[in-house]
Structure 1
Amino acid sequence: MDLPQAIVQFPARQRVSFTILRLFKWILTDLGYEETLLALFQQLENEIGTNIHLGVDLSKFSQEVWGLDKEIFDKVLAMPMALEKMDVEKYRECTKDDDLHKSFLDISGQLLRDVSKELGDEENETFTDTFWDRLLQNPASRSRQSVPDVVNTWKPLPPAGATPSLSTAKSVFELKRIPREKEKQEEEDIEEVDEKDEEDADVRDGAVRGEEDNDDNDESKPTPSSKKDADSQRSLDIGVSKRTASTLKRSFDSVKDADDEDGGSPKKQRCGDETALKNSLLPLYATDAMASSSRYYVVGVVVDRFAVTVCYFDRFLVTCVASFSFEEEPSKLALTLYAMNRCDRLRAGFDPHLQPAADNESGKTRPVENIIGSIFEYPDTPSSSGTCLRVSGVIRQPDELIGRATAVYKVRRRLADGSFSEEEYVYKLSWPSKTRLSEIEVVEILKERLPKDAHDHLPDVTFTRTLTAEDLKLPWLRLGLDLTSDNHKERVLRGMMGKFYHKLWEAGSIENFKRAWLDCVECLYLARKLGKVLHRDLSESNLMVLKCLGGEVKGVLNDWDMAKFLDREDDDPSTDEHRTGTLPFMAFNLVIPKPSPHWFRHDLESLLWILLWAALHYNLEEGTRDAVTHPSLRDLTTSLDANWRFKAAFLTYSPLPLREIRAGVKPEFTDLFEEWIEPLRELFVDGMMMNRRCNRDGKDCDEVTYNGIVTFKSFMEAIKVTPRTWGIPNFLAGTDDF
């Protein structure tokens, strides 16, 4: 499979996300696209951007994040700890990732046992935590999955060969890879020696095969009677001599450590904060851990030979403790292991409002492992009533680290008698900018300004709760960080529950699909004309379907998070500075290298892209959507560059772009393609061509509507639909169209 073919297999996603990066990784690791992998690492770094704070004091971090007493911190650092010289040399001379990993576990396990013994709590049964590592994970699956090297989690560990859920991971570790050149050189040395020694042919073949299979060798498969098994199962767990589980081999095997360009023998390295997260998978692990539930933050550790960097991740920022060398300061590694192992679930960043089922006693200490069946419980406040919601399904999990990170769940509401409702609702959690009007405020204002008949086409919200960083007591508030507008953006955690709506592809028939889509078009225009609001984030995910009695449907225009009021000064001005929207459905002028301001015609154009997408992916009678992007539309999902080039080619008078697309149209959408999609395409092409002629001739052009060519009225005329007037006299009269 070549790279373009691989990309076609990706499910559609609106933004460059960690989910897509993971899919890239699975495919490209096998294909060996080192340059592409390095580019993906760059995407991870770009996700963090300037929202990173370095050089935090370990003492302050231990107290404010893990809740470790200052007295214990000082006592541990004062302990006369020293690593065995033999262990250090063994670790230094490792040339294979698994050997390095095992050696690190041996050193760390001993340090943790020593510090626990010195503090007198090595037998403390109240500590239910342990460490899990990847070495006993099923070798056949190591190259296909992404799991941290070590996970600090709760007992009991998963069965041998299984992986723990990141939903219960207290903290995660990444051990940076040994440069590939060094592993390759050792393989060549082995082959050279074995060519001179035919008696060891069987051993040689096995060793070389093991390296070619990414360390899938016999010693990683436990055999009860073998000494090798006993040695390999040592654990970081206090007082446990055998490890009952392991983790997966790290991915990105074809990428060498960029900090060691010559690939030579490892040297005592400088502990530089600026390089700790370079080419690191730790942000990916942190994202996955937080996405698995409503977690507030997660702590991870990067180990790059002897250099150790402790990192904190949440939706606001990344904070890194000043790096240290555990060869020179082993007490700091001992303290790190001890503190993360001893902190409770709240200090590990888990949401206190999320609990296991009411009859699950472990919920007092353990976090939720499976969010389905768990309970969100919010107490009453002086300004609002609380609620209790039981999760019945997952609609969306966040795939970004810093940002809105929206999660959406199906829930049932607890009733007065203690039972839960038969009716399902939607509960949405996100981290929007603190300065933005909330979605519920936008909807409430629209309902004040729009006629009552239009309210059915706006989301029905029944509960909302907003929590600030101070409400959540996030630890970075007490770390003394130098926060500026360049490295920090104030956010809030906002929960919102409302009526459950169906997806557009679940409309049931082409007639219902058209009705729901038209309702959303007309609601969009009402919001702009009477509500003075631009939606700015139209996608297939927020044109929803309300199913009514008798089989009728209504369209609901959902997700007003990115909406902008045109007549209010208190709306977040920073939103003007960034592209908004969902990549496959964004207007052409918003994805080009120099995007224009967001105008209403851009939302109209998004509606065209939604139609085109639906025509090639929706199975309306079955109520499903194709999971794989149609080849003719793959460029809409891969990158901004590919996206705008596709749209530039599509929005021309040439019939060529339509040929491949038309061949993929679903039978249900054949008439709609000819009656709606083609005329709308021609409408936007007319506007673009007129604008180009004006620019060529040096004439002024109204870019907001392309001199009146692209407006709501012309949009509806193109599809031969007469708009509703909502009982408002002269609703469509006047010259203020847009």
Structure 2
Amino acid sequence: MSLSNSQEYRSTTAYGNVDPEIWHTLRYSFDRPSEIQPTLFLKHLLQYDVADLKWKACKYRCPERFKEAYLSSTTAPDRFAALTRIIDDAHIRARKFVRAALKKRAQAEKKDTVESRMSWTDIVNSDDICVIDMSRAEFMKGSSRPSVQAEQAALERKRKKDQADSEQSKRLRQSTTDDHATDSTVVDDKAEEKTDTPDKTNPDAEDTAAVQEKVTFEKAMSLLLRGVKRRLYYTQARRRYIVTLMVTGSKIQLGCFDRSAITVTEPIDIFKNPKMFVLVVVALFAGDRRHFGYEPHISLPTELAPHGLLRLPASRALDEEGNPLVEDAVFLISDEAISIEHMIVGRATVVLPVERCCPDIPTTITTPSPLVAKIGWPFACREDEARLICDVRKKVDPRWAAHIPRVECTLDIDNSEELGLLPHYLWKEQWNRVDRPALRFLVVERLEHINDVRSLEEFKSVFLDIVRFHRVAYLKASIIQGDLNTSNLMLKRDADGRAIGVLNDWDMAQHIDDRSKESKSAFGGGTAAFMALDLLRDTKRHQMYRHDLESFIWILIWSVFHLELGPEGTVPGAGAGDHGKPIVNWDADGFNMMWYSKVALLMNGPDVASWKVQEAFKPLHEQWVMPLFKMLKMAHEVQSKRPKRHWFGPLQFTDHMNEETLGGHMTYEKFMEAIGEDPSLPDL
């Protein structure tokens, strides 16, 4: 699950408008939070060992006045102020351990000093950690001083407490001389306790309170998910994970939201478990940017590099041929991100515009053409995209190499310790283990999107280039792209301005087995709007060439409705998609809903000739879309009528039809024949 359906990016500080459905969706999925012991969390994520804290030399207990102010606070700012006092007090008592940890890290990193924080407010205001009050469903971020009303309320509570203590002392003095008075006092005290104790005999009241507490918790979790998602979105690949602190009454929980999972610690009571609380405080104050998830390969903004520098070390990075770099590759990030996948758990690919520059002088550009840096979190078990591109370029004829991106350099990090992520084997529930992610940097030449075509003829030329090259890569390198969608169809222009189609994004590509003509590993996902029906229905099956061929058809169907052709030299306007009623719900939630939407179009939808497509695409609709749609419809009818049987594993067919071509109904030659184009491939 990616948690990427919501388009809400704005800040939310209270739960009035927060939809708890976000949390419902998560907690019933495989991506729901997993628990871990606090000591393991601190040791493996914040790199602080419990053995470094000499508890006998730091016997801390929260002062009563701080405890009372915290428990009696009624608003999130007041509770944050009270919590800040407690944390800062614990930090002051244990600061020698913080200094020792900072000194140890400075020596390990060969630095004079490591940045330290003076107060809890400094940590929170720097956005290093996200703090939320779970019992009120509000983010805790405000002034470190309590409000005037809170101070007055605290004084009034203290006056009443002193008065009550005085009256109790007076009664006790009277009880030593009068037994009857003693009995009467005890009875009165019991009666007072009885009136103050909530009525536990009323089950309806208890149920109502429990339901309200559950609703508040769900809204708080939904708010937290939105806050974390927003922070990851706006950092644009500059954070690997977000550390959170969830406060529920006197208990706290640390959390880590990374690209592979959500992990939270067991609850820690601030007042009943002071040792663990102090350990958390010391670990947080001793942490630096790396421990809070900041990307070490991207520098902080400077005057010469306002968006920072991307540095790929020569010790790990490779060039386009897969050879180690001679020196560090330094790139100036020239602008905001071009593309961002807005999600918490998942690949979360970010594309940054970069230019290779001199390491010492960022303004000295050393590459003649602009580049992009693609940063994402695919599964480590997936083959590196750079290696796949290199493999294709080596095996195809040089004339075809222009149709695949040119790689500048790449960096692949798949070690959990090097990434700074929590190992999944530490989770209490081992059934929920997920595949280990890898962080991959890929710097390639910058391309134009297919939206930037200047005419219908140019669109057709670019599309045919990509279809033909896709076939060449399959025949010569035994590789299919695996995730064809409108975002992957790109172009570049030669010296004469002619558009050349380029097939981009090979991170989901797979090798094809020469005997079975299927991918060597099971299908791993894709863009539902353009996926083949077989893959939408059975996501565990292996991919074949005809599945990508079907994706090309769905891309064309989408284009005639939603892709706008602007005048020559201009970018298409923002009104794309408003020219006719969509025939397919392209935003259907989930693979099953998308399958039903597409099948409904094939079996019961309007006649293809009656589609109200864009005026500029009417020739393409008549020449390409109509014959290809009829071919796809015939192939689906054949597939739906095949005898099949269901086992506990994947769907199996009992006939002997050729799966590679679906009995000859879905082939490259038939595809090109339908659109009236020559299927021959020069220099194959």
TM-score range, shorter chain: 0.7 to 0.9
Residue matched to 2:562: 617
Residue matched to 2:340: 397
Residue matched to 1:79: 60
Please give the per-residue CA displacement for 1:144-174, whole angstroms capped at 9, x wherever unaligned: xxxxxxx8233xxxxxxxxxxxxxx211122
Go from structure 1 to structure 2 and tell me whether the alpha carbon gap of 1:678 and 1:352 turns closer, same or farther (over 3 Å shift). Answer: same
Letter in 1 for 2:357: R
Residue matched to 2:310: 376
Residue matched to 1:21: 6
Aligned with 1:495: secondary structure?
A: strand
Whole-Å separation in 2 of the counterparts to 1:474 and 1:584: 35
Whole-Å separation in 1 of the counterparts to 2:356 and 2:442: 13
Residue matched to 1:107: 82
Whole-Å separation in 2 of the counterparts to 1:79 and 1:62: 19
Contact 2:379-2:436 within 8 A present in 1 as well: yes
Pairing 1:683–2:631 present: yes
Pairing 1:356–2:300 present: yes
Residue matched to 1:649: 600
Pairing 1:414–2:372 present: no
Residue matched to 1:65: 45
Residue matched to 1:581: 526
Residue matched to 1:136: none
Aligned with 1:676: secondary structure?
A: helix
Letter in 2 for 1:423: S
Structure 2's unaligned 5+ residue stretches are 100-113, 154-204, 317-323, 645-652
Whole-Å separation in 2 of the counterparts to 1:132 and 1:620: 52
**TM-score (structure 1 length as normaliser):** 0.69
CA offset at residue 304 of structure 1?
2.8
Whole-Å separation in 2 of the counterparts to 1:72 and 1:683: 71
Letter in 2 for 1:581: G
Q: How does 1:330-729 map to 2 (within 5 A)?
A: 332-333=276-277, 335-337=279-281, 339-357=283-301, 373-381=307-315, 383-385=324-326, 386-393=328-335, 394-415=337-358, 418=361, 419-420=364-365, 421=367, 423-469=369-415, 472=418, 474=420, 476-477=422-423, 487-567=433-513, 575-576=521-522, 578-592=523-537, 596-621=541-566, 622-624=570-572, 626=574, 632=582, 635-640=585-590, 641-652=592-603, 654-656=605-607, 659=610, 662-663=611-612, 665-695=613-643, 700-728=656-684
Contact 1:504-1:545 within 8 A present in 2 as well: yes
Aligned with 1:43: secondary structure?
A: helix
Go from structure 1 to structure 2 and tell me whether the alpha carbon gap of 1:121 and 1:594 turns closer, same or farther (over 3 Å shift). Answer: closer
CA offset at residue 306 of structure 1?
3.3
Contact 2:331-2:354 within 8 A present in 1 as well: yes
Whole-Å separation in 2 of the counterparts to 1:722 and 1:31: 60
CA offset at residue 455 of structure 1?
0.8
Residue matched to 1:248: none
Please give the per-residue CA displacement for 1:613-638, whole angstroms capped at 9, x wherever unaligned: 22222222242364776552562213
Contact 1:456-1:556 within 8 A present in 2 as well: yes
CA offset at residue 431 of structure 1?
2.1
Go from structure 1 to structure 2 and tell me whether the alpha carbon gap of 1:268 and 1:591 turns closer, same or farther (over 3 Å shift). Answer: closer
CA offset at residue 457 of structure 1?
0.7
Aligned with 2:315: secondary structure?
A: coil
Contact 1:108-1:334 within 8 A present in 2 as well: no
Letter in 2 for 1:41: W
Whole-Å separation in 2 of the counterparts to 1:290 and 1:612: 34
Identity of aligned residues (%): 20
Letter in 2 for 1:649: A
Aligned with 2:348: secondary structure?
A: coil
Letter in 2 for 1:65: L
Contact 1:465-1:496 within 8 A present in 2 as well: yes
Residue matched to 2:111: none
Letter in 2 for 1:406: T
CA offset at residue 354 of structure 1?
0.9
Structure 1's unaligned 5+ residue stretches are 1-15, 134-150, 155-168, 180-213, 233-259, 270-274, 361-370, 729-738
Residue matched to 1:172: 130
Contact 2:53-2:97 within 8 A present in 1 as well: no
Go from structure 1 to structure 2 and tell me whether the alpha carbon gap of 1:572 and 1:412 turns closer, same or farther (over 3 Å shift). Answer: farther
Contact 1:171-1:348 within 8 A present in 2 as well: yes
Go from structure 1 to structure 2 and tell me whether the alpha carbon gap of 1:566 and 1:574 turns closer, same or farther (over 3 Å shift). Answer: closer
Go from structure 1 to structure 2 and tell me whether the alpha carbon gap of 1:75 and 1:54 turns closer, same or farther (over 3 Å shift). Answer: farther
Go from structure 1 to structure 2 and tell me whether the alpha carbon gap of 1:424 and 1:172 turns closer, same or farther (over 3 Å shift). Answer: same
Whole-Å separation in 2 of the counterparts to 1:231 and 1:656: 74
Residue matched to 2:23: 41
Residue matched to 1:255: none
Go from structure 1 to structure 2 and tell me whether the alpha carbon gap of 1:546 and 1:381 turns closer, same or farther (over 3 Å shift). Answer: same
Whole-Å separation in 2 of the counterparts to 1:550 and 1:491: 43
Contact 1:152-1:341 within 8 A present in 2 as well: no
Moved more, 412-421 or 386-395: 412-421
Whole-Å separation in 2 of the counterparts to 1:76 and 1:634: 68
Pairing 1:290–2:232 present: yes
Equivalenced residues, count: 582
Aligned with 2:587: secondary structure?
A: helix
CA offset at residue 63 of structure 1?
4.2
The structure number with the bigger radius of gyration is: 2
Aligned with 2:422: secondary structure?
A: helix
Q: How does 1:153-172 map to 2 (within 5 A)?
A: 153-154=125-126, 169-172=127-130
Aligned with 1:376: secondary structure?
A: strand
Whole-Å separation in 2 of the counterparts to 1:318 and 1:265: 25
Whole-Å separation in 2 of the counterparts to 1:727 and 1:20: 44
CA offset at residue 396 of structure 1?
1.8
Counterpart among 250, 270, 279 of residue 306 in structure 1: 250
Go from structure 1 to structure 2 and tell me whether the alpha carbon gap of 1:656 and 1:304 turns closer, same or farther (over 3 Å shift). Answer: farther
Contact 2:134-2:220 within 8 A present in 1 as well: no
Aligned with 2:448: secondary structure?
A: coil
